Structure 1
Amino acid sequence: MASKLLKISKNFTAISQRLKCSHSADFQAALSSLNSPTELTVANNNLRVASQSSDSEITTVGLFIDAGSRYEEASNNGAGNLVHRLLLKGTTKRAQADLESEISSLGARIYSFTSRERSALYGTCLTKDVPKLVEILSDVIQNPKLSADDINKLRNDILRESSDVEANVEDVVFDYLHAVAYQGTPLGQTVLGTQENIKSLSSSDLKYYIDTHFKASRIVLAAAGGVSHKELVQCAEQNLGKLDNTFDGEAPVLSRCRYTGSEVRLRDDSLPYAYFALAVEGPGWSSPDRIPLLIASTAIGAFDRSQGNFEDAYELCHNYKAFNTTYSDTGLFGVYIVCEPMQCDEISRSALKTWHRIANSITDAELDQAKNRLITQLLSQQSSSKGICEDIGNSILSLGRRAPLGEVVASIQNISNQTVRDVTDKYTSNKCLVVSAVGPVEQLMDYVNLRARMYLTRL
C-alpha cells in the first residue's frame, strides 16, 4: 500500500510540474487525503453515515438525499425546490430567528441545493461544533415549519425567477434542453417547477413530499475534516436514529427516462446574443464510458471572451463551454455557446466538426493535456472539506461507495487514446442530437441539416 501511495504521489508531483499551475497547495492538500479512506457505516434504520477524517480544525457535515425533480410527478413538480428553500425558515422547535442565531453563533455557513436527482443541506463549522450542527440539520429536515406565510413569500420569489428569462438565459437553455431530450419523462421537468404548480402547491403538498422522500435509507450523513467517524455515527444515532424508513406505498424509484433527439427554439430578437446548446445522450454514473467521455469533454474545453482566453477555432464566440452532465442511468454530452446572431451557423458547424475530430484523430498531446486538466480540476475540488463532503454525499448516493482519490486518478491516467476516440464515436457518430436555442437564432441551421452532419467520415 505504501509503495502504491508513493507512486501516486510521484505522479501528482509530475503532473503539477508539467502544468506549472497555481494549484500546488490544492495538490498537496488532496494528496494528503490519500492516507485517509472514506469510512461508511449503515445505521439500524438504514441511514448511511460516511466520512473522511483529516488533521483539521474545521469540518463540513451535511445531509444528502435521494430527492429532486426527477422523483416528482407532473402534479407536484417544483415541490423539492420549494422544500429546500423552506428548510431554514424555522422548525416546530426553533423559530427562524432562533435558528439563524444558533447557526451564526457557531460561525457556520450553511449551503443547500436541489437538482434533478439530489437534494442537500450541509454546513462548515469548527470541528468541536459538529455535534451541534448535526443536531440542527437533523431538526431542520425532520421538523420543518412549512408556514403558509413563508410559502407565499417564496412562491413569489420563484415566480419572478422563472419569468426573468434575460437574467437566467443559460438556465433556460438547459431546462429546454432537458425538456426536449427527455420528453414526457420526469427528467424533462424543471427543478423550479411549472408556474401553475408554484402557485398552487400547499403546505400539505410539501409535507407529503417530505414524508415520501426524507426517509433514512434515502439519506447520507456525510462529513469531511477533523471529525471522528465513530463520533459522527454516535451523532447520527442520537439525532437521526428515529428517522422513519417505512413507506405508505411503494418506495420512490427512478423510472427509465427515454431520450429523444429533437429541438426547441425560443426566438427573441430583443436579446443581444444567440444562446444555444447542442448535445447527444451520454452515459450514466456507473458506465465505464463515463470517464473517457469526461476526458473528451475536457479536451474540447471552455472559454469566455470577456476573460481573454478564447481559442482560434471558436474566436467568433463570446462564450463556449463543453459539458458532460451525468445522471443515474443517462446523461447529456454537449456544448453551450453564446455568439453573435449571424455566427450561429458557422459556429454550430465547428462544434460538430470538433466532436468528429475527437472521435477520429485526437492527438496524444491533446489527450495528455485533457487528462492533466481534469486531474487538476478534481484535486482543486477536493482540496477543501466542503468539496470532499459534497463528493462523499454524491458518490454514496450515486454509486454506493466513494472511490479513493488515487483510484480515480489512476483510472483517468489509464485511459488510452483509442478508448477516448472509440467512446466519443460511440456517442456522437450518426446519433440524434438535441438542440435548445434562445434569442436571435434565426441563422442557426435547421435540425435536418444538423442531424445530417452527425455522420462521421472516417480517415
Structure 2
Amino acid sequence: MQDPQISVLPSGVRVVTDPMPAVRSVTLGMWVGIGSRDESPAQLGASHFLEHTLFKGTEKRTARDIAEALDAVGGEMNAFTSKELTCFYARVLDDDLPLAFDVLADMLVDARNTPADIEAERQVVLSEIDIHLDTPDDLVHSDLSELVLGQHPLALETLGTVESITGLHRDTIHDHYLATYRPENITVAAAGAVDHDQLVRLTDQLLGDLGRPGGSPPLRTPPAGYGARELRIRHRPTEQAHLVLGYPGLDQLADDRWALRVLNVALGGGMSSRLFQELREVRGLCYSTYSYSSSYRDAGLIGAYVGTAPGKVDETLGCLRSELDRVRVDLTADEVARAKGALTGGTVLGLEDTGSRMSRIGKQVATGVPIVTVDDALKRIAAVTTDDVQRVADRLLGQPADLAVVGPFAEDEADRFAPALA
C-alpha cells in the first residue's frame, strides 16, 4: 500500500492523493479551510450559505449545467460545511476526473452569487434551519456545544440562525467568498484511480491562484474557558426526552486522542458498550444511547446521549451519570480489547471506500494535522493500554459536566436535573 503523496504548489494550494490501483473510480474533494468558527457576528451562517450558492452558477455554467455535467457521466457531487472546513466533492469514473475537477474548480473560482440566487437559496437554508429546530435529537447536541464551549465561535451552530440568515446581505456573502476562497486555504484531495502528477497539473491549470493571491489563513484562537455545571432546558412537546451530558474534550493533536477513541467505543460506541448494555439491555430505559467525541484544531468536546420516556428521565439520567462515573474506575482489559478491535476493524474496512479515504487525507492536510497513515493509526491503536484509557477516562469524565435537555419540561424544573451536575 502506497502512502499518500503531498505537493504544495507555488500558489499555496496543497494537493494530496491516495492511489487505489484496484478500483476504477475516484473521489475528488476540494477543501476550503474555512468554517463557521471563522465568521464574525455579521457573517454568521455565511460559510454554509456559500456551500449552497456555489452550486447556483458560475460565469460559464448555470446551475443546470453544473448538475447535468456529472449526471451525464453517472457521477455524484455534493458538499458539506463544518465548524472548521467546507468541502466540495465528486465521485466519478477515472476517465471523468478532468471533468469533475473542471466543474468543482469553476465553482470555487468564478461563483456569481447573484442577488437572485442568494434570495432563492435563502429560503432553502431557512428550511434547513427549521428542520434542525424540529429535530430534538439533533438540536440537543447544538445546545450542549454552546454550554461546553461557551462564548466562542466553535460553540455556534454552523447553519446560522433564522435571524442571521434572514439578515445576511448578498455583499456580505460574496465578500466572505472573495476573502476566504483563496489558494492558501485550499486543499485538493483525491483517492482511488488517481495519478498524483495528473492531479497536480489539473490543479495548476484549473485552480491556479484562484485569481485571488496574497491572502493568509484565518487567525484562530482557542476557547478561553469551558462551561461547568451549566444546564439548558429547551421545551418541546415531544413524546421522548433527549438528554446529553457533556465535558471538555481533546484537540486534534492531543497525545491522548488515541486513548480517547478507545474510551469512546468502550463507553458508548456499539452494542457491547457500557451505555448500551446498562441503559438499554439491562434496564430497558431507552432505545438509543451513545457517546461521542468532537475534536477541533484547538478544542474538544465529549458527549453522552440518551433518549427516554419523559416519565423515566430521573431514573435514566441517574443511570447515565452513574455509568460515566463508574467507567472512570473500573474499565476492564476485555472491554479495552474489544474497543481496540472495533477501531482497528473500522479503520481497515474504511480502506475499501474511495470517499472515506479521500476524506481522511483531505481533512488532515486541510486542518494542518500531520498525515497519519493507516499503518501508523493501527500501531497507535494497538499501543493503547488499559491504564491509558483508565487515566483518560478519569481525567476527562472527572471534570464538571454540562447538561442539555430537550423535551416536555419547563425551565423552572431545573432542580430535578441538578443531581446529574453535582
1:181 to 137, 145, 148: 148
Give the aligned residue type for 1:267.
H
- Whether contact under 8 Å (1:116, 1:191) holds in the other structure is yes
- Whether contact under 8 Å (1:296, 1:358) holds in the other structure is no
1:303 Cα deviation from its structure 2 partner = 6.3
1:256 to 199, 222, 226: 222
1:160 Cα deviation from its structure 2 partner = 2.7
Alpha-carbon distance in structure 1 between the residues aligned to 2:414 and 2:333: 33
The aligned runs of 1:402-441 (5 Å cut-off) are 402-429=371-398, 431-441=399-409
Q: TM-score, normalised by structure 2?
A: 0.92
1:80 Cα deviation from its structure 2 partner = 0.7
2:318 is paired with a residue whose SS is helix
Which stretch shows the higher mean deviation, 137-146 or 256-265?
A: 256-265
Distance 1:256 1:432, change over 3 A: same
Alpha-carbon distance in structure 2 between the residues aligned to 1:273 and 1:303: 22
1:340 Cα deviation from its structure 2 partner = 0.4
Give the aligned residue type for 1:192.
L
Gaps in structure 1 of 5+ consecutive residues: 1-34, 453-459
Alpha-carbon distance in structure 2 between the residues aligned to 1:150 and 1:336: 39
Distance 1:364 1:399, change over 3 A: farther
Alpha-carbon distance in structure 1 between the residues aligned to 2:2 and 2:131: 45
1:182 Cα deviation from its structure 2 partner = 2.1
- Whether contact under 8 Å (2:13, 2:209) holds in the other structure is no
**CA shift digits 1:298-317 (9 cap, x unpaired):** 0122569xxx9984345201
**CA shift digits 1:62-120 (9 cap, x unpaired):** 10111111111111100011100111111111111222221212221012000111110
The answer to whether the aligner puts 1:301 opposite 2:268 as a matched pair is: yes
1:200 Cα deviation from its structure 2 partner = 1.8
Give the aligned residue type for 1:345.
D
Distance 1:163 1:100, change over 3 A: closer
- Whether contact under 8 Å (1:166, 1:271) holds in the other structure is no
1:322 Cα deviation from its structure 2 partner = 0.8
Give the aligned residue type for 1:104.
D
Aligned counterpart, 2:123: 156
1:134 to 101, 105, 108: 101
Aligned counterpart, 2:55: 88
1:410 Cα deviation from its structure 2 partner = 1.1
The answer to whether the aligner puts 1:265 opposite 2:233 as a matched pair is: yes
Alpha-carbon distance in structure 1 between the residues aligned to 2:183 and 2:417: 46
**CA shift digits 1:103-148 (9 cap, x unpaired):** 2122210120001111100110011111221111110011112122
1:441 Cα deviation from its structure 2 partner = 4.2
- Whether contact under 8 Å (1:345, 1:444) holds in the other structure is no
Alpha-carbon distance in structure 2 between the residues aligned to 1:379 and 1:251: 33
Aligned counterpart, 1:72: 39
Alpha-carbon distance in structure 1 between the residues aligned to 2:234 and 2:270: 24
2:352 is paired with a residue whose SS is coil
Distance 1:286 1:210, change over 3 A: same
- Whether contact under 8 Å (1:62, 1:222) holds in the other structure is yes
Gaps in structure 2 of 5+ consecutive residues: none
Which stretch shows the higher mean deviation, 431-440 or 295-304?
A: 295-304
- Whether contact under 8 Å (1:345, 1:445) holds in the other structure is no
1:445 Cα deviation from its structure 2 partner = 6.2
The answer to whether the aligner puts 1:351 opposite 2:317 as a matched pair is: no
- Whether contact under 8 Å (2:32, 2:86) holds in the other structure is yes
Aligned counterpart, 1:98: 65
Aligned counterpart, 2:5: 39
Give the aligned residue type for 1:142.
V
Alpha-carbon distance in structure 1 between the residues aligned to 2:361 and 2:372: 9
2:78 is paired with a residue whose SS is strand
Alpha-carbon distance in structure 2 between the residues aligned to 1:64 and 1:167: 30
Alpha-carbon distance in structure 2 between the residues aligned to 1:303 and 1:95: 45
- Whether contact under 8 Å (1:60, 1:386) holds in the other structure is yes
The answer to whether the aligner puts 1:378 opposite 2:347 as a matched pair is: yes
Alpha-carbon distance in structure 1 between the residues aligned to 2:270 and 2:94: 38
1:361 is paired with a residue whose SS is coil
The answer to whether the aligner puts 1:451 opposite 2:417 as a matched pair is: no
Alpha-carbon distance in structure 2 between the residues aligned to 1:352 and 1:449: 9
Alpha-carbon distance in structure 2 between the residues aligned to 1:88 and 1:125: 18
Alpha-carbon distance in structure 2 between the residues aligned to 1:383 and 1:350: 39
Superposition CA RMSD, Å:
2.0
**CA shift digits 1:406-448 (9 cap, x unpaired):** 110111111000010001111111x121211111246786454
Alpha-carbon distance in structure 2 between the residues aligned to 1:159 and 1:208: 21
- Whether contact under 8 Å (2:288, 2:307) holds in the other structure is yes
2:245 to 278, 283, 286: 278
Alpha-carbon distance in structure 2 between the residues aligned to 1:157 and 1:314: 42
The answer to whether the aligner puts 1:338 opposite 2:307 as a matched pair is: yes
Give the aligned residue type for 2:89.
Y
- Whether contact under 8 Å (1:344, 1:441) holds in the other structure is no
1:49 to 15, 26, 30: 15
- Whether contact under 8 Å (2:245, 2:305) holds in the other structure is yes
Alpha-carbon distance in structure 1 between the residues aligned to 2:38 and 2:6: 26
**CA shift digits 1:329-387 (9 cap, x unpaired):** 11111211110012122222222222222221111111111111122222233321011
Aligned counterpart, 2:174: 207
Alpha-carbon distance in structure 2 between the residues aligned to 1:46 and 1:446: 55
1:288 to 246, 255, 267: 255
Aligned counterpart, 1:360: 329
1:211 is paired with a residue whose SS is helix
Alpha-carbon distance in structure 2 between the residues aligned to 1:211 and 1:223: 25
Alpha-carbon distance in structure 1 between the residues aligned to 2:217 and 2:187: 17
1:118 to 68, 79, 85: 85
Distance 1:397 1:166, change over 3 A: closer
- Whether contact under 8 Å (2:59, 2:110) holds in the other structure is yes
